[in-house]
Structure 1
Amino acid sequence: MDALIPRPAREVAPGAWHVPDWLTLDQQRELVTACRAWATGPVPIRHTRLPRGGVMSVRTVCIGWHWQPYRYTRTADDVNGRRVAEFPDWMVELGRRALLAAYGDEQAAREYTPDTALINFYDGQARLGMHQDKDERSSAPVVSLSIGDTCVFRVGNTETRTRPYTDVELVSGDLFVFGGPSRFVHHAVPKVHEGTGDPATGLASGRLNITMRVTGLS
């Protein structure tokens, strides 16, 4: 059997780094277990309803702060009115290690203090259209972790939802960080490749995506 060829880290756009195979299998399992617990409450995972009546195909649960289009609140007033689960210290440390792995900047990593995470679950039919993460009052980087099925991650530009963009395959265990000039790039998930994940992660099917952010709120 041929040895697996390592996939090197690369800067997809200024400030946007893809670091393949960053999470170990054990770390992926631990995250799946944690996300499964958060998905059951206090605010359960749900399909987010958009202001114009549409419903997102991904299912989302939040910790630290609750995101609803297009703001953050401590309580999930669009779900059950309860306060979301706290953002744990170990997630802050994970975010700092991720930032260090992507940028190699020890000071920036020490100062990075994410206070919320959006946890999205994609089944084989779920998609996410071109959008910007701009509801935060901070321009600190977004740290994105992928577990389960491989997806196509589309990294666009800061001006439009259209080209130019670059498609990147995100595999289970991959890290993607976007900050600096790319903090407000449009991005999307146009495709999930069903059946490509390893059940040893604890996820039998689908894709789990954890995005850590700094809200800038108090």
Structure 2
Amino acid sequence: MTIGLFDDSQDGRRPREPLAEGAVLLVRFAKSMEMELAAALDAIIGAAPFRHMMTPGGFRMSVAMTNCGQAGWVTDARGYRYDPIDPETGRPWPPLPPSFLDLAARAAKEAGYGGFVPDSCLINRYEPGSRLSLHQDRNERDFSAPIVSVSLGLPATFLFGGAQRSDRPRRIRLEHGDIAVWGGPSRLAFHGVAQLEDGHHPIFGGRRINLTFRKAL
């Protein structure tokens, strides 16, 4: 069952929903910035296009990815890592736009993690049928900083588990503009995204875009 806390708002969701100790969902927190974020995304994608990366085991990921910031998350035959250079263009990743930095800092502060300054943003593009299996964000050097994850476009089912892959994950519906923030006791929680269903969003079309802000270096 997809979880949700209910109140008298139009869609039955509170502005702030706890997910676990140290983890919270900020409902529609990014919606007021949707056009600014979309414009910044267009500029990033123009400099560093989306691509389907390969896992170290040789599997093509169903989710298309790109990055911005001081370092970008990449995966290939050499493994998972952060790299300051885009391997496809041979150039540094585009810088983090001011709108991205502002949103990530405000969301982290709202979730109880003041002073968050990300240096990397992984940008995932989901299309119907794509999914992301359970995993931990553990390639970063400092686990004291939270993860800030912004959902744009089509709704998705976020899988949020525990410290072990075998822990049964909770299923949380993410709508356009929602931001999930986790850190502290939940920093290394396993998480993923269930297979995306068909749909259409007035700004992002038949896609879901996810911005994941991290302190990587």
Instruction: Classify the TM-score, shorter chain.
Output: 0.7 to 0.9
Deviations 1:90-118 (A, max 9, x none): 32221111012222xxxx42x21101100
Q: Which runs of 5+ in 2 are unaligned?
A: 1-7
For the residues of structure 1 that align with 2:207 and 2:65, how far apart are their CA atoms?
13
Any residues of structure 2 matched to 1:131-142 within 5 Å, and which? 131-139=135-143, 140-142=145-147
For the residues of structure 2 that align with 1:85 and 1:192, how far apart are their CA atoms?
28
For the residues of structure 1 that align with 2:154 and 2:99, how far apart are their CA atoms?
25
SS at the partner of 2:195? Answer: strand
Change over 3 Å in CA distance of 1:81–1:151 after alignment to 2: same
Whichever structure has more helix as a proportion of its residues is 1
For the residues of structure 2 that align with 1:143 and 1:44, how far apart are their CA atoms?
22
For the residues of structure 2 that align with 1:144 and 1:60, how far apart are their CA atoms?
14
TM-score computed with the length of structure 1 as normaliser: 0.87
Query: Match for residue 32 of structure 1?
Result: 38
Query: Match for residue 59 of structure 1?
Result: 64
Query: Match for residue 76 of structure 1?
Result: 86
TM-score computed with the length of structure 2 as normaliser: 0.88
Between the aligned residues of both structures, percent identity stands at 34
For the residues of structure 1 that align with 2:58 and 2:106, how far apart are their CA atoms?
39
Q: Name which of 88, 99, 104 aligns with 1:90.
A: 99
Q: Name which of 127, 137, 140 aligns with 1:123.
A: 127
Q: Name which of 20, 28, 42 aligns with 1:13.
A: 20
- Measure how far apart 1:29 and its partner are: 2.0
The one-letter code sitting in structure 2 at the alignment partner of 1:22 is F
Range with bigger deviation, 86-95 or 128-137: 86-95
Query: Match for residue 206 of structure 2?
Result: 205
Query: Match for residue 173 of structure 2?
Result: 169
Q: Which runs of 5+ in 1 are unaligned?
A: none
- Measure how far apart 1:31 and its partner are: 1.1
- Measure how far apart 1:3 and its partner are: 7.1
For the residues of structure 1 that align with 2:133 and 2:192, how far apart are their CA atoms?
5
Q: How many residue pairs are counted as aligned between the two chains?
A: 203
For the residues of structure 1 that align with 2:197 and 2:39, how far apart are their CA atoms?
22
- Measure how far apart 1:80 and its partner are: 2.7
For the residues of structure 2 that align with 1:5 and 1:189, how far apart are their CA atoms?
21
Any residues of structure 2 matched to 1:150-165 within 5 Å, and which? 150-159=155-164, 161-165=165-169
- Measure how far apart 1:6 and its partner are: 4.5
Deviations 1:117-164 (A, max 9, x none): 0010100111000101110001110101101111010001112x2232
